[in-house]
Structure 1
């Protein structure tokens, strides 16, 4: 692939535009919470300006910024692997519930079997638990 060549004047113009843009928009992968906050503020401003609409002149900039934000979120907020039983156990602890406090799942014995890994949650139980705890059903899959 052939390299694109620039004249001295073109490079000066590009450099000036890049510096002006880089002062307002983080044009690099996000490194820390301060970068993240700045990127989110800029993204919200771009969205307010209509850059989320297809064909908007700044839509590509918004896409790039959204990619940086998404990469940072994934790296910083990755949840550890957990079984459905682990998720249920955590939710029970957070809400101060015992095994007998989950009629959505079944009897205390059924809950005990699920928590011990001897029985799996069925789709109906997952749906009811997701509704009760206000979480996505996928949390239990």
Structure 2
């Protein structure tokens, strides 16, 4: 019985240390990510928190806050703005769909947002444009902006409509 009690006390002490460490790490990013070194530490912490294990409520809160800070840094950083612009210049909506299909192991039959297998094939081959309806359905499914699935000209039309 004494051994079990010691094990329990060890677990409690370890959890206390973990929470103290998480609070300290959380405090490092309370005022935002300001430097590339901050960004690297934040992404390392994000990787550690998303290692596949179940998170505590405290860890979940820290994860959400950390993701927000990382996204804010990426949005405001000249480095990321330039690389994002370069990415957008080379990544077409069709290429995005192909990449999503490859990454998620999807086939043409798995994209009813576009239509049947033949319609998907036509879109992927460039024989059929991605309609606004398709773009909005794909955006909903993949939690992205509809403009990601539209060409620049189509996206501008959409922006004026909204």
TM-score of the superposition, structure 2-length normalised? 0.45
1:93 to partner: Cα distance: 1.2
- How far apart in 1 are the matches of 2:126 and 2:82? 29
Q: Which has the higher helix share?
A: 2
List 4+ stretches of structure 1 deviating above 4 A.
Answer: 35-38
- C-alpha RMSD over aligned residues: 3.2
TM-score of the superposition, structure 1-length normalised? 0.51
Match of 1:121 among 130, 133, 143: 130
- How far apart in 2 are the matches of 1:37 and 1:91? 26
Is 1:34 matched with 2:37? yes
1:120 to partner: Cα distance: 0.6
Instruction: Give runs of aligned pairs for residues 25-104 of structure 1, distance below 5 A.
Output: 33-34=36-37, 69-78=76-85, 79-80=87-88, 81-104=90-113
Q: Please say which of residues 125-134 and 77-86 is displaced more in the overlay.
A: 77-86
Larger Rg: 1
Which stretches in structure 1 are left out of the alignment for 5+ residues? Answer: 1-29, 39-65
Q: Which has the higher contact order (CA 8 A, sep 6+)?
A: 1
